[in-house]
Amino acid sequence: MRGRALERIRDWGAETAIILGSGLSSIVGEAAADRVVAFSDFAELPRPSVAGHSGRFVLGEVGATRVIYAQGRVHLYEGFSAKDVAAGVRTLASAGVKKLLVTNAAGSVNPDFVPGSWMMVIDHLNLTGATPLLGSREFIDMTETYSRRFRARFAQAAVENNVELKEGVYAGLSGPQYETPAEVRMLRGLGADAVGMSTVIEVIQARALEMEVAAFSCLTNWAAGMSDNNLSHEDVLAKGQGATETFARLLRAAL
């Protein structure tokens, strides 16, 4: 079955794929059955178990540009290895994808980055203690992890379309617990602007496969200790769903 599923994705002819994080799958809208390929059609792809991650590829379009949406992902905190987490990226590369846009829901660590806004990732801190390259003896240069060309294109699109787009550093942790206020203060001291539980593993794999990468965080909440509110996944999903139209507008302008 894997061969036919991969062929369907490859035949779509898209060079760009977009991984959608928590609460962001609604950006795709209704998809016809012949445009959907389930993760379960690939024996090597683990199945997401977290709300907001449906686990399927959707063959879509942004304007005149064909794209592949990955609706959902798996995480280290679900018990998967880093290699498992990055399996979807390897599948997309096998299907001919050369450009990868990664989205996530994140907590804002920077007091100037108000929840509800979007942040374009300019660099990251991999604090998960994991890498999908473990055991491969690959030495991958991560100097320009996030494409300058992509970042310039999206920054210009944001200005031209009156979209507030912050730029900052994303800290990736393993989860599933949210960070403590002390950990958030530590992250701020390390230079992080946002924190989440995804993205960095996928990005490392993508760069190892020589894909051009950009990443965007939907800032769904203040990180722990920065407000009086407790954190919940339900709130993260709700805030993410409310921000999808802004990102869809940005995608249309940039792609």
Active site residues: 22, 53, 75, 77-78, 105, 197-198, 221, 233
User: For 249, phi and psi rounded to 5 degrees?
Assistant: -65, -40
